[in-house]
Structure 1
């Protein structure tokens, strides 16, 4: 006498093992469809977090507002103001602007992983822009204070922390 399980019987009715695999594949597609397209009347789509595929990425980043911080010890003493953004820092001195562009190389080795991981080494490219015959003693002032503040809590010594650093919309050279 041979014993056959229910699972085996269902598999045979569906066309053997291949039929069972087809059934599993179809159920997986249905589950994926519900995750991607599903949702009931109570669900709301998440807001977009970046440029739409049809938008030009450069135009998207160019539209983001800059905010400048007065250097209060957060960087080199020659820097008067700095601005930070996704992947860059802009340093303004009396006579030059230095743009540091940061990136991380993806540690993805093959195309099997669908999303890039952020574990690769950091690289920084630097662009220095200096005006010829510029006044090295130019007065650099901030204009249009913004409501946001920056805070730097680096290390364990509260004396070295920078709290409530004002941010500005513009910087003026005179």
Structure 2
């Protein structure tokens, strides 16, 4: 009987520790991080702003796409959060790049931002028909970036977490 309890204790210990490790890692790997929405950020002097946000969804929840502005790696956008990008006036190139299980062909677009102008973009997985492929055993889904109105975007962002601010403004 002593051996049974000793074996049971060892088994439980070796089972619980990896489970705790896996669940804590999954909860923090790609999940939302930040502070609750508290309104729009004030403008940096002479700069405009781009807000990019990802509403919470189970599709591609752990994927964190690579985002670059004018070739510089910028803060990424986790699901359930939004990020503010401060840019100097003029034309900028924004890239959302394929990586890991974010199976999106690189999305590239140009934006012409003015001083004290705000633009809003919603990053969403493409779910129509659930067209997806796999990398190994991991399903990957396509995604899209949509330009949104300020009213619609701020309503959606009200339930998201603010993950930070990135600046390319002079």
Which one has the largest radius of gyration?
A: 1
Higher strand fraction: Structure 1 or Structure 2?
2
Give TM class, smaller chain.
Answer: under 0.3
- TM-score norm. by structure 2 comes to 0.25
Structure number with the bigger relative contact order (C-alpha 8 A, sep ≥ 6) is: 2
